Structure 1
Amino acid sequence: MTSISVSDPAGPARVDARLFDGKTAQARAVVLSFRHGALQVQGDGIAFEVAPRSVQLSDAHRHAPRQLGFPDGSLCEVDDQQGLERLLVQAGMRTSRIDRWQQHWRAALLALLLMVAVIVGGYRFALPWVSAQLAAAVPDSVTTVMDASTLDLLDRSLMRPTTLPASRQAALRARFAALDGVPAGAGPLLFRASDIGPNAFALPGGTLVMTDELVALSRDDDALIGVLLHEAGHVDRRHALRQMVQTTVVGSAFAFWLGDFSSLLAVLPATWLELRHSRDDETEADEYAIRLLHMNGLHAAPLAALLGRLDAAHAPSAADAHQRNMEWASTHPDTAGRIARLRQADRERFPG
């Protein structure tokens, strides 16, 4: 019930009502009117007045009576919605705009559509912007802890110690470290054997992980460098961290609604495992990789060729659907389009 405000009436009005004294279930017929700045309640043996500011008016419902609550605990029910509205207008006891909208299905539908538009627009545009601002403010000390927790979860579930020779690991790390333009936050570069097939990814704090299976599949180290630069693009733009922040914001909203924050913090590392970069993020990371490849005098064609081999590995005969879903190409949508863009970038950068 909401309080109602008062203004001078334009003239008297009378509305039939049922009075309940708050002590018994018996209803008594009364008439409501507004005179001399007060709400008058009159019936057989009943006569009293109430200051409008002290009246509590129930929400309006199309097929239910309105209730006017009085300070002594009694109340009146009114079936004549239009008559009551005229009385309220004369008494300055206007119902809220929301209540009036609820009486008209077209207005209610419009309000619902506007609410949906605000929610969708907020999720599509405002939330990514807010997430980007929050991600930029997360200190390195926090992302370092996040990486350690996520890597620990991976090592206990999907990853095993690498079988790559130390010399092979050192050679790839040296090549990556020698590149110009790589963001300082991209690294360290770690290797793991895995149950998820050929893959490489950047953790929210910048740690790069490449699987032995991806190294084995590649026929050219330039392709692996292209993959690492793509992941470095995610690091530079803080894509993974932004996604985690965005997921946390949404989760926090639900947790606030449900009143349970305890489970939210516990699942953050696992949440990262289920994240997929958006198509826009992937395009941005590809463009970043192309720019740095060309800056270092390298072609994007080896990366395109590796993408083709990864895509071919997604044949229906592949053994495990979960493994296919986790492989690097499957987490980066529109492989054919990406390959075409990589090759086109080479043609533009190295004509002839």
Structure 2
Amino acid sequence: MTQSVQVIFYDGVVSKPHQAQIFSVDEQTIQVRYGDHQQVVKQYRYADMQLIGALGQLKPAIELHDDARIEFLDDLPEWFHLESKKVYSSIWKLERSPTLIIFSVVFVVFFGFALVKWGIPTASHYIAYQLPENSMERLGDEAENYLNKYYTEPSQLAKGQQEQIRKQYIEKIAEGRPARVLFRKGTGLGANALALPNNTIIVTDELVELAHSDQEILGVLAHEQGHLIERHSLQQGLSSLGMSALYIAITGDSSDLFSSLPAAMLSAKYSRKFEQQADLYALKLMDRKGIEVTHFANFLQRLNEEYEKENSETDKENSEKAQKNTDESKEGSKLDRIFEVFESHPAIDERIQMVRDFEKQQKK
């Protein structure tokens, strides 16, 4: 038994580590000697061992059937005949390879980017079109209840005005696929309109008041009809939940996970692609029905002016608060400006230009 190596040994009885020496008995068995004078001797078979892989600066260790443990001070000796040794040794070498580490980092980054850029949106698109109608109605009803409870109040518009808008919508926009048009006072939404998966378009009183003509309202309804036809709200909600699931998989923190899909559908903004698709749908529909698309551009311009007015007031309030706050708050405002660069919505100016370009093409 000339082949031996120094190790740290835990006997499985007490937690105290022992300086020990292991010897090769034969190709099936090793012997462990420990104690003040190495008077305690134990034998173990390779078949009863569980190899714990090395990682970084950690050395390999062996878990034994009697809760004992052998920790090596260096790599496994050549004479150590554990069958899985070669496989683990190869893995440990790869883990310490700078080339593999760099490749792994690049691969993970690219995979994450591809998942966010194409994987989640593609899966959301597929799932959205596979959901049965009753499931969409249930989700839409929950989203509508959530919206009515926290963001809107009963409409103050005259019933006759509401019915007139609905009638024009059926005649010029619905094209045999009518949605339920619901009017609400947008306490937490302002001038806005939303398309929900239960085939409902919610229009706020503030939006109707902002419009200068019925044609402008019809342009907005045509835009929301496009969102309904393409199931954009459902796709965006599913994508939002997919992002949250990816975040949890990476960090293990589920505190920011949306409590429900309806909440995700309302809190998630439409992507640039979805907004452009809905705009194009509205423009083609208005052109077919003989409604001048310039009405849609005019409304977008007015809506943009309204938003700029609200933002200027908000910026003024924030500026006053910033003078009283600490440097931490100032840093937060910088981060807000950085995040604005990644805003997914097309700028209103781009959307207006899209309408103007469409109008020019139709006149050729």
TM-score range, shorter chain: 0.7 to 0.9
Q: State the alpha-carbon separation in 2 of the partners of residues 91 and 247 from structure 1.
A: 47
Structure 2: runs of 5 or more not aligned: 316-342
When structure 1 is superposed on structure 2, of 43-52 and 339-348 the one drifting more is: 43-52
* Local SS of the residue matching 2:85: coil
Q: State the alpha-carbon separation in 2 of the partners of residues 211 and 331 from structure 1.
A: 23
CA-atom RMSD, angstroms? 3.4
- Which residue of 2 is the match for residue 55 of structure 1? 49
The one-letter code sitting in structure 2 at the alignment partner of 1:68 is: I
Q: State the alpha-carbon separation in 2 of the partners of residues 45 and 91 from structure 1.
A: 29
The one-letter code sitting in structure 2 at the alignment partner of 1:293 is: M
Equivalences, count: 328
Describe how 1:1-352 pairs up with structure 2 within 5 A. 15-24=5-14, 25=16, 27-33=18-24, 35-36=26-27, 38-41=28-31, 43=33, 44=38, 50-81=44-75, 84=76, 86-87=78-79, 92-96=84-88, 98-104=91-97, 106-179=99-172, 182=175, 184=177, 187-195=179-187, 196-251=189-244, 267-316=260-309, 321=314, 332-351=345-364
* Local SS of the residue matching 2:270: coil
The one-letter code sitting in structure 2 at the alignment partner of 1:215 is: V
* C-alpha contact (below 8 Å) 1:40/1:47 kept by paired residues: no
The one-letter code sitting in structure 2 at the alignment partner of 1:27 is: H
- Displacement of 1:95 in angstroms is 4.4
**1:284–1:66: structure 2 CA closer, same or farther, 3 Å change rule?**
same
Q: State the alpha-carbon separation in 2 of the partners of residues 41 and 85 from structure 1.
A: 14
- Which residue of 2 is the match for residue 4 of structure 1? none
Q: State the alpha-carbon separation in 2 of the partners of residues 163 and 109 from structure 1.
A: 62
The one-letter code sitting in structure 1 at the alignment partner of 2:53 is: D
The TM-score normalised by the length of structure 2 is 0.77
- Displacement of 1:336 in angstroms is 0.6
When structure 1 is superposed on structure 2, of 59-68 and 243-252 the one drifting more is: 243-252
- Displacement of 1:291 in angstroms is 1.9
The one-letter code sitting in structure 2 at the alignment partner of 1:308 is: Q
* C-alpha contact (below 8 Å) 1:15/1:80 kept by paired residues: no
- Displacement of 1:339 in angstroms is 0.6
RCO higher in 1 or 2 (8 Å CA, sep ≥ 6)? Answer: 1
The one-letter code sitting in structure 2 at the alignment partner of 1:61 is: L
Give CA-to-partner distance per residue, 1:213-232, whole Å, 9 cap, x none: 22222223222211111111
* C-alpha contact (below 8 Å) 2:125/2:235 kept by paired residues: yes
* C-alpha contact (below 8 Å) 2:8/2:17 kept by paired residues: no
The one-letter code sitting in structure 2 at the alignment partner of 1:209 is: I
The TM-score normalised by the length of structure 1 is 0.79
Q: State the alpha-carbon separation in 1 of the partners of residues 139 and 42 from structure 2.
A: 68
* Local SS of the residue matching 2:307: coil
* C-alpha contact (below 8 Å) 1:204/1:240 kept by paired residues: yes
* C-alpha contact (below 8 Å) 1:147/1:204 kept by paired residues: yes
When structure 1 is superposed on structure 2, of 126-135 and 154-163 the one drifting more is: 154-163
Structure 1: runs of 5 or more not aligned: 1-11, 323-329
**1:119–1:86: structure 2 CA closer, same or farther, 3 Å change rule?**
farther
**1:267–1:74: structure 2 CA closer, same or farther, 3 Å change rule?**
closer
**1:343–1:58: structure 2 CA closer, same or farther, 3 Å change rule?**
same
- Displacement of 1:178 in angstroms is 1.7
- Displacement of 1:19 in angstroms is 3.2
* Local SS of the residue matching 1:124: helix
The one-letter code sitting in structure 2 at the alignment partner of 1:160 is: E
* C-alpha contact (below 8 Å) 1:16/1:32 kept by paired residues: no
The one-letter code sitting in structure 2 at the alignment partner of 1:103 is: R
